[in-house]
Amino acid sequence: MTERPDGRTRLLMIDDDRKLCRLVATYLQPLGFDVAAAHTGPDGVERATTAEEPWHAIILDVMLPGIDGFEVLKKIRAKSAVPVLMLTARGDETDRIVGLEVGADDYLPKTFSTRELLARLRAVLRRSAATAAANGSAEKPPTELVVGLLRVNLDARSAVMDTAPLTLTPVEFDLLASLAKAKGRVKSREALLDECRDRNYDVFDRSIDVHISSLRKKLGDDAKEPRYIRTVRSAGYMMVGPDL
């Protein structure tokens, strides 16, 4: 998104805990963030998707009045690739997995420390800025990887299946690009982690399979009879294609 002339970062927090919203705003505002809040699911969707309020990032709670955070995220993802950090008070792994499948960029339990929140925010913002910079670059021809009907443009950070553009989260794109560049070779989970920038490993390594599963769905792939991403037992994943 376009940078503000004052260099500040616009952050929307969708959470019905008004005290928590105030605490986060008080902590982040001196650090260059302008924090706005919405306290119900429908209000959060409206504010997150209006063109008049472009956000650099969104903090989204799971438990919300009206509609829950997962439904809010689905509606956001239908219109925007803005970075989203999901919060939950449950600490439930199922919540984390569902959030990642729907398109969350990262996950935090509500027991987070302010320092951890800041670190996670800065990480997803760096990834978003890198994507925007790549999309805006026209100084060199695009680098494109082709696997069957799949085309992955590394400079534009975009992917097309046949003629249909794929809507990928930054993490999904990084995984797809890493696998496509190593077409025909096994990539271990550790190697994939290394190539996905700015991730918190202790969270991400337990969810990498979820991202791969989501990626397969978007590719129209089948884990049992893969046309693109094959699971190599006890080793990792490999990009295959019609010619492999």
Query: What residues does each domain of the chain span?
Result: 9-135, 144-239
Kindly report, residue by residue over 95-125, the tens digit of the pLDDT: 777 777 888 888 888 888 999 999 989 888 8
Stated length of the chain: 244
Please calculate the CA angle 194-192-125 and round it to the nearest 5 degrees: 60
Give mean pLDDT, residues 62-89: 90
CA distances from 205 to 194, 196, 199, 201, 231 (A): 11, 11, 9, 6, 16
User: 75 near 102, Cβ under 8 Å?
Assistant: no
pLDDT category of residue 139 using cuts at 50, 70 and 90: very low
Q: What's residue 140's pLDDT? A: 45
pLDDT category of residue 242 using cuts at 50, 70 and 90: low
Q: Which CATH architecture has domain 144-239?
A: Orthogonal Bundle (1.10)
Q: What's residue 201's pLDDT? A: 47
Stronger pLDDT, 214 or 137, i.e. the higher one? 214
C-alpha 85/C-alpha 70 separation (Å) is 12
Q: Which amino acid is at 50?
A: T
Q: What's residue 133's pLDDT? A: 59
**Angle between helix 208-219 and helix 170-181 axes, rounded to 10 deg:** 80
Q: What's residue 12's pLDDT? A: 96
- E strands, the chain, are 9-14, 33-38, 57-61, 84-88, 106-109, 144-147, 150-153, 158-161, 164-165, 186-187, 229-232, 236-239
Kindly report, residue by residue over 15-74, the tens digit of the pLDDT: 999 999 999 999 999 999 999 999 999 999 999 998 777 899 999 999 999 999 999 999
Q: Which CATH architecture has domain 9-135?
A: 3-Layer(aba) Sandwich (3.40)
Q: In 91-169, which residue ranges form alpha helices assigned H by DSSP?
A: 93-102, 114-135
Stronger pLDDT, 128 or 225, i.e. the higher one? 225
Kindly report, residue by residue over 144-198, the tens digit of the pLDDT: 888 889 999 988 889 999 889 999 988 889 999 999 988 888 888 888 877 775 5
Q: What's residue 13's pLDDT? A: 97
Which residues are CB-contacts of 134 (< 8 A; sequence separation ≥ 6)?
154, 155, 156, 157
